[in-house]
Amino acid sequence: MSDSYSGEVCAVARALIGAVVRHGETAGVIVETEAYHESEPACHAHIGRTPRTLTLFGPPGRAYVYRSYGVHAMLNAVAEPDGIAAAVLIRALQPCDGIELMRARRGRERLEELCSGPGKLTQALGIGLVHNGVDLDAGPVTISLPGGPPPDIVVSRRIGITKAVDLPWRFSVRGSRFVSRGGARVAASVSRSAR
């Protein structure tokens, strides 16, 4: 399945909507993603190869997991051919398996609060820096591509960054109550401005 990740990063980010992320007994359906590419300054690899970014330059279909602000682990799927640094940030999931374990890990009851952000979903699924570089086919963290008709997808600007903020590289399921809260507001404003 790694061939599925070797395409252009925005196409991969769109294609991952509806896929299932699984780790152990917990899993969720991807409802929000963002694309990052070495050619733009919001991508970690924009500065070149460093110990932190080596996974981004590696083969597609690997997990790139990093810590944001020293607190939250962030799960990304490496995309594009080997040697080109690009990845898809998994921003939000709709929980589907292991919900009670997710609630215990997150200390939250409401289903919408379990995985509605990239740091929340890794906490809920027990994903950490130890998973950086793992094969997303072989696991232990896996992504199963969706079957059936594609969901209705909203395209908007990425959130939570200060560089290249105008690129329309965020993809989310229209009307999903599981997307990150800031993301829902940005998508709504982009949709209104496009009319």
pLDDT score of 1: 52
H or E element that contains 183: helix 181-193
Q: How would you write the pLDDT of the chain (195 residues) with one tens digit per residue? A: 567 899 999 999 999 999 999 999 999 999 999 999 999 989 999 988 988 899 999 999 999 999 987 778 999 999 999 999 999 999 999 999 999 999 999 999 999 999 999 999 999 999 999 999 999 999 999 999 887 788 999 999 999 898 999 999 999 999 999 999 764 444 443 433 332
pLDDT score of 19: 96
Which two structure tokens, joined as six digits, stand for 48?
A: 């070149």
pTM, full prediction: 0.91
Name every residue whose Cβ is closer than 8 Å to that of residue 184 and which is 6 or more positions away in sequence.
Answer: 172
C-alpha 122, offset from chain centre: 10
- Which domains does the chain possess? 2-193 (3.10.300.10)
Asked if residue 155 lies in contact with residue 171, where contact means CB atoms within 8 angstroms, the answer is yes
pLDDT score of 77: 98
CA distance 183 to 130: 28
